[in-house]
Amino acid sequence: MALTIRAELFQPGIQIVNPEFFNQLTTMHGLVMVFGAIMPAFVGFANWQIPMMIGAPDMA
């Protein structure tokens, strides 16, 4: 997805995909990054941080 977005933005104008598909692709890329990368990273961070907050550092 990101490669297609970067290829489309390489030069002005339409090169690879039409504008509607480009908007859909950009939206899908954002959703995949949020729900597939950022939220799981926060879950992992919470798995480390919460035992430290409750006073059980041996569990972190």
Write the DSSP symbol of residue 14.
Answer: -
**What is the structure's pLDDT at 14?**
82
**What is the structure's pLDDT at 60?**
59
Q: CA 14 → CA 2, 3, 5, 6, 56, distances in Å?
A: 16, 15, 11, 12, 56
Q: pLDDT tens digits for 8-30?
A: 999 898 889 999 999 999 999 99
- The mean of the pLDDT values for the chain is 91
Looking at the domain assignment, is residue 11 inside a domain?
yes
**What is the structure's pLDDT at 56?**
86
Q: How many structural domains does the chain have? A: 1
Looking at the domain assignment, is residue 60 inside a domain?
no
**What is the structure's pLDDT at 29?**
94
Residues of the domain holding 46: 2-52
Give the predicted TM-score (pTM) of the model: 0.68
Q: CA 20 → CA 23, 37, 48, distances in Å?
A: 5, 25, 41
